[in-house]
Amino acid sequence: MTDRTGAGDAEHGDLGRGDLEAREAQARAAYQGGQAEQDRVVAALEARSRLLGAARLGIAAAALALLGGLVWARPGAWAAETLAGLGVLFAALVVVHARTEEASRRALATRRFHARGLARMSHDWPALAPADDRFRSTDHPFTGDLDIFGAGSIMQLVDATETRFGQERLAALLALRSVNVWPGEVIERAQAARELSARFAFRERLATATGVLAEERPDPSPLLRWAEGSDAAWTERIAWVAWLLPAVVGAAIVAGLGGALSIEKVGVAALLVGAVGLWLGVRLSPMLESVSAGESSATRWRAAIEAIESETFRAPLLVRLREQLAAAPRSASSEMAALARIVGFVDARRNEAFRFFVAPLLFWDLHGALALVRWRKRAGLRVRSWLQALGELEALASLGAFAFEHPGFCWPEPVGQAMLEARALGHPLIAGDRRVGNDVRLPSAGRALVVTGSNMSGKSTLLRAIGVNVVLARAGAPVCARSMRFGPMRVATSMRVEDSLSRGVSHFYAELQRLKQIVDWAQESGEGPVLFLLDEILQGTNSRERVAGARDIVRELLSTGALGAVSTHDLGITALAEELSDRVENVHFEEQVSGTTMTFDYVLRPGVVQSSNALRLMRAMGLAVSENS
């Protein structure tokens, strides 16, 4: 299947400006057209639903009037036949109405797919799903400093998932918790994301299937605990009870109708059997609720799995994920369909009258438990792998959507040795009309950039752009650059260090703790050297000690083979480039001043900055600073 918009096949980073604008307009038009189409579908379905509701109400009123006539006026046989016909018509309308409501929910989920795509392209954060704080951690090497999670974050910009396990898998990729084989896993994910970027219709179907009533992202834990557990296995030993005792009640009723038993004895038999059935229902209730449609959403996941199984993929990772779902003896969708049928049978107990007066006599809960136990023995241990495959594919579809929505971003090239070379590297959280790209070059391990510049000139943004794009590249996503080559690196940052009154930790001491962690990580063997990004290093001490301490820390990091960038206002640190000329390079940003107006072009230049704007900024803010300062 190909993308109906025609986007997704070109080398993103090689597009000319005209082609880029056309591709961006094409992507936006695909979402806008889809949203407008679903708006029409939703409006038509809601109108039909209102009409069906009114028809049901009218039929119910007519049936009640006719029933009153049968009781009080005693009309002819036609009245009873008409009442029966109204009952059949009402039941049919109930079925049609339910299907209309389900179609409306699907259309709303499809519309949300398009609306959120537009919101991501426009950086309209309030229109996206709320940021999930589950993934934020103060102990992580880089996620807090690089805005990976939280409001207005990389996660929000990339996340197109609808399920909890899809969201968790995407968060793990962006936190770099799962890359073990370099560069094989990175390449495979990039191939998969690239293919999915061109499969707009498939991503729409997947989002619709997973997005029906998915605002709450249901937790699969209850279903998994049941599927991998052994509760209620004892029911197989008493399976005969589910048949024998209802048969006893049936026989007693027949005997009562024939006069062989009194009504009292029939009632006692039904009461005793019902009590046993009710007791078993109470014991089985926790297990039955764990797989209830209201708790596990098995039906919704089945639809998503069916969408994957029906697709033909080329990328090796996507092929494996599909095979994981479609493997013999029975595919995941077939088994989930069987589970959905059992759940539908079990969920009849959600009607209170049926649950307490009919189900106990029929041993309904025991029959449902027996069917669930048999299903669990056959397929229960495969459920986790199915949901993991679905979550993996959802995460990859999010990376594919990210590529589709940003046609100017390039697919980076992973290489064997630690290095980073990028042309026109920018920050993806900055809108394209305001973003300035810069060339960044760290050609080997043990190399560093010392970045100087005036306030607000772009130093911190450059460091974050380097880190964010390496994170995206390792996750398998395109990056905000014209081209990029990168090697195996472990990202570690020190940017937003915070003090703690409760722990008695000052800002300077907190920064020292962070820097010690980074040095320790750099000295550990791992998946490539550390890529360190240190913003305004050691700003909590005097200039002499700051220069000495910062130079020693950078030397130590470079000696481990680490590579990275350090930003500073202290020009004494730039002497490292003379001392380690083959490993350290000075670069800078600067401001442009015209009269009293100060502007920034955010262009990275070689060498050390020659100007400072702190006093000018103070005067611009109205602070009393003398001209001779």
Mean pLDDT for 578-584 is 91
Asked whether the predicted pLDDT for residue 623 surpasses 50, the reply is yes
Q: Phi, psi (5° rounding) for residue 529? A: -70, 170
Bond preceding residue 606 cis, omega within 30 of 0: no
Q: Looking at the structure, do residues 396 and 426 belong to the same domain, yes or no?
A: no
Asked whether the predicted pLDDT for residue 327 surpasses 90, the reply is no
Q: Looking at the structure, do residues 425 and 375 belong to the same domain, yes or no?
A: no
Q: Looking at the structure, do residues 173 and 218 belong to the same domain, yes or no?
A: yes
Binned at pLDDT 50, 70 and 90, residue 8 comes out as very low
Q: How far apart are CA 495 and CA 478, in angstroms?
A: 25
Asked whether the predicted pLDDT for residue 621 surpasses 70, the reply is no
Alpha-carbon separation of residue 24 from 18, 152, 405, 407 (angstroms): 10, 21, 7, 6
Q: What is the pLDDT of residues 249-286, one digit of tens each?
A: 889 888 888 888 888 888 888 899 989 999 998 999 88
Q: Looking at the structure, do residues 304 and 451 belong to the same domain, yes or no?
A: no
Lowest mean pLDDT among 186-195, 364-373, 590-599: 590-599
Mean pLDDT for 605-621 is 67
Asked whether the predicted pLDDT for residue 148 surpasses 60, the reply is yes
Q: How far apart are CA 250 and CA 270, in angstroms?
A: 9
Q: What is the pLDDT of residues 529-555, one digit of tens each?
A: 999 999 988 877 777 888 888 899 999
Binned at pLDDT 50, 70 and 90, residue 4 comes out as very low
Mean pLDDT for 135-140 is 87
Binned at pLDDT 50, 70 and 90, residue 619 comes out as low
Tokens, residue 401: 């959507």
For residue 61, give the H/E element and its range. helix 17-72
Q: Looking at the structure, do residues 580 and 521 belong to the same domain, yes or no?
A: yes
For residue 485, give the H/E element and its range. strand 483-486
**Residue pair 196/202 in contact by the 8 Å Cβ criterion:** yes
In a domain, 136, yes or no: no
Q: What is the pLDDT of residues 104-126, one digit of tens each?
A: 999 999 999 999 999 999 999 99
Q: Looking at the structure, do residues 464 and 583 belong to the same domain, yes or no?
A: yes
Last residue of a domain, one of 357, 385, 406: 406
Q: Looking at the structure, do residues 72 and 93 belong to the same domain, yes or no?
A: yes
Lowest mean pLDDT among 27-31, 179-183, 602-606: 179-183
**pLDDT score for 7:** 38
Which position has the higher pLDDT, 438 or 232? 438
Q: Looking at the structure, do residues 359 and 479 belong to the same domain, yes or no?
A: no
Binned at pLDDT 50, 70 and 90, residue 499 comes out as low
**pLDDT score for 223:** 83
In a domain, 379, yes or no: yes
Which position has the higher pLDDT, 233 or 517? 517
Asked whether the predicted pLDDT for residue 296 surpasses 90, the reply is no
In a domain, 153, yes or no: no
**pLDDT score for 503:** 57
> Using CA atoms in the order 258, 263, 266, 270, what is the torsion angle rounded to 10 degrees?
130
Of the candidates 386, 403, 46, the residue with the CA atom closest to the CA atom of residue 196: 403
Binned at pLDDT 50, 70 and 90, residue 81 comes out as confident
**pLDDT score for 404:** 97
In a domain, 425, yes or no: yes
Which position has the higher pLDDT, 402 or 538? 402
Q: Which domain, by its residues, includes 114?
A: 1-128
**pLDDT score for 254:** 86
**pLDDT score for 13:** 57
Q: Looking at the structure, do residues 391 and 420 belong to the same domain, yes or no?
A: no
Alpha-carbon separation of residue 9 from 6, 13, 14, 32 (angstroms): 8, 12, 12, 21
Mean pLDDT for 598-616 is 78
Binned at pLDDT 50, 70 and 90, residue 2 comes out as very low
Q: How far apart are CA 327 and CA 401, in angstroms?
A: 27
**Residue pair 136/144 in contact by the 8 Å Cβ criterion:** yes
Q: How far apart are CA 264 and CA 278, in angstroms?
A: 20
In a domain, 140, yes or no: no
Last residue of a domain, one of 381, 406, 431: 406
Binned at pLDDT 50, 70 and 90, residue 10 comes out as very low
Average pLDDT of every residue of the chain: 87
Q: Looking at the structure, do residues 260 and 277 belong to the same domain, yes or no?
A: yes
Q: What is the pLDDT of residues 559-573, one digit of tens each?
A: 999 999 999 888 888
In a domain, 182, yes or no: yes
Last residue of a domain, one of 375, 406, 437: 406
Q: How far apart are CA 152 and CA 161, in angstroms?
A: 16
Q: Looking at the structure, do residues 437 and 373 belong to the same domain, yes or no?
A: no
In a domain, 625, yes or no: no
Task: Compute how many other C-beta atoms are within 10 angstroms of the C-beta atom of residue 576.
Answer: 22
In a domain, 39, yes or no: yes
Placement of tokens 């081209």 in the chain:
483
Mean pLDDT for 427-456 is 93
Q: How many structural domains are present in the chain?
A: 3
Q: Looking at the structure, do residues 39 and 187 belong to the same domain, yes or no?
A: no
